[in-house]
Amino acid sequence: MGWSGIVILGLVVGGAGWWLHPMRRAARHGLVLAFVAGVLGAALANAAGGATGLFHDGELLQWPLCTALALVFVGVCVALRVR
């Protein structure tokens, strides 16, 4: 998965994470923030995995780690947006 896949994955996880978050109604205009957080989390996980040698581009472990970190970033950003 190249960088275009990382961006698409981050956007999908950002949108889904915002929609599923229980505090999304209180976080007005948080959808753009969720998209940015999703892309940032996925890109950071991809860069960290490649730098540490945990996975290389296109390996099976890359998808779940990028998805998990993007979802954590989205959850934290939406929760902080409410406060």
Please enumerate in sequence order all residues whose Cβ is within 8 A of that of 57, keeping only pairs 6 or more positions apart, or say none: 1, 2, 50
- Could you report the per-residue pLDDT of 67-77, keeping only the tens digit for each? 999 999 988 88
Assigned token pair, 23: 């505090």
Q: What local confidence, expressed as pLDDT, does residue 70 receive?
A: 93
Q: Is the pLDDT of residue 34 over 90?
A: no
> CA 8, 9, 13, 16: dihedral to nearest 10 degrees?
50
* pTM of the shown model: 0.85
Exposed (0-12), middle (13-18) or buried (19+): which is 55, by Cβ within 10 Å? middle
Count of structural domains, the chain: 1
Closest CA to 64 of 81, 45, 50: 45
Range(s) of the domain holding residue 60: 3-82
